Amino acid sequence: MKREHIVPLLLITPFALITVLVLAAIINIMVQSLGYMPVFGLYDISLKYYLEELSRPEVLQSLGVSVRVALFSAVLAAVIGTIICAALVRTGRTRGVMLYTVRLPILVPHTVVAVFTVALLAQTGLFARIAFALGMIGDYTEFPMLLFGKDYWGVILAYVWKEAPFIAYFSLALMANVSATLGEAAENLGASPMRSFFHITLPMSLPAIARGFIIVFIFAFGGYELPMLLGSTVPKAFPVYTYIEFIKPDFKLRPYAMAMNGITLIMSLVMALIYALLMQRLMKKIGGGYEG
């Protein structure tokens, strides 16, 4: 009897310790961002650092850049990912070589994705050369500055290359399942394939696609490597800016960097919460019938 109580506790201990570490990091950010750093004689707890950060135009600009990158990357990745997923399901290529190909970008680290992006999208990259060969541009300076530009298109496209296959891969199981059961049933009852896809398969696959969307949004919002390597110097992406504030040697400035981390943290938690609530409603709406 006693053993039955102790064994699960022992089993969960290492996981619990790691979770404590994550929570400690979060608490550390929250406490420091509110201005409490006894080591440096900062005792006053206030929202001062948040308010000051949020009133600086550079910070707001940088926040805007990151929201834009995250939103565009997530929307494009979700749309393209869904199309790839549907194509995989429709052609029945849900395993084998095709699936390994789709998984490849998921395995490629961001630093390498940056190298790939430069090779294709730089003003002297392959696409610019093809445009020149086709007579579309007269010189490489005429090719749009996708990299290092203020619009962050290079960063967005780099995220789409990596994350559209991610969404396709992680929605595949659900979509294949729905399509093989309810989608096919609808077609057998006379629905056109288009109708069965848009009215049955796509709505039922939404939980997986929405989850992918949220994960990509949080990744792209909080990501460091791609905007650091492919983004502009002004405005900087929010995590890049945060890190610059973070490594300033004056420790009295630390709460400012931590307030910026706090903003990212709150945004991510809000996104996760929206997702959780959305899923709950979606599950209630369609769950009843499908869970059977």
Partner 1 sequence: MKDREYMRDPDSSTSGTHIHEKTEDRADVRSVSRNEERTESRTEKGSGSRNRCMRAVLALTVFFIFLPVIVTMLWTVTGRWPWPSLLPESYTTRTLQELFSGSSSLHEILRGSVLIATIVALLGTVIAMMTARATEIYRIRGRQIISWSAMLPLIVPGTVFAMGIQVILIRMGLGDTVAGVILVHLVAALPYCVFIMTDITAAVGSNLEEQAQILGAGPVRSFFDVSVPQLLPGILSSASMAYIISYSQYFTTLLAGGGKVKTLALVMVPYIQSGDRALSSVYAVTFVGSALIVFFIFEALIHRIMRSEES
Q: How far is CA 90 from CA 136, 165, 171, 224, in A?
A: 36, 16, 14, 36
Under rule CB under 8 A, residue 229 binds partner 1: yes
Residue 10 CB, shortest distance to partner 1, in Å, is 8
Q: Which residues contact 104 (CB under 8 A, 6 or more apart)?
A: 165
Q: Which is nearer to partner 1, 213 or 221 (CB)?
A: 221
Which residues within the stretch 34-73 sit at the binding site for partner 1 (CB under 8 A)? Answer: none
Spatial distance between the Cα atoms of 278 and 260, rounded to a whole number of angstroms:
27
Please pick, from the candidates 272, 277, 281, 285, the single residue that binds partner 1 as defined by CB under 8 A. 272
Please pick, from the candidates 1, 44, 57, 291, the single residue that binds partner 1 as defined by CB under 8 A. 291
- Of the ranges 43-51, 52-60, 71-79, 130-138, which one interacts with partner 1 (CB under 8 A)? 130-138
Under rule CB under 8 A, residue 26 binds partner 1: yes
Torsion of the alpha carbons at 204, 277, 63 and 81, rounded to the nearest 10? -10
Please pick, from the candidates 51, 104, 136, 234, the single residue that binds partner 1 as defined by CB under 8 A. 104
- Helix or strand or coil: residue 42? strand
Under rule CB under 8 A, residue 15 binds partner 1: yes
Spatial distance between the Cα atoms of 240 and 284, rounded to a whole number of angstroms:
40
Which residues within the stretch 177-216 sit at the binding site for partner 1 (CB under 8 A)? Answer: 177-178, 180-182, 184-185, 187-190, 192-193, 207-208, 211, 215
Sign for the pseudo-dihedral over CA of 37, 41, 46, 51: negative
Interface with partner 1: number of residues (CB under 8 A):
104
Please pick, from the candidates 2, 43, 57, 133, the single residue that binds partner 1 as defined by CB under 8 A. 133
Residue 111 CB, shortest distance to partner 1, in Å, is 5
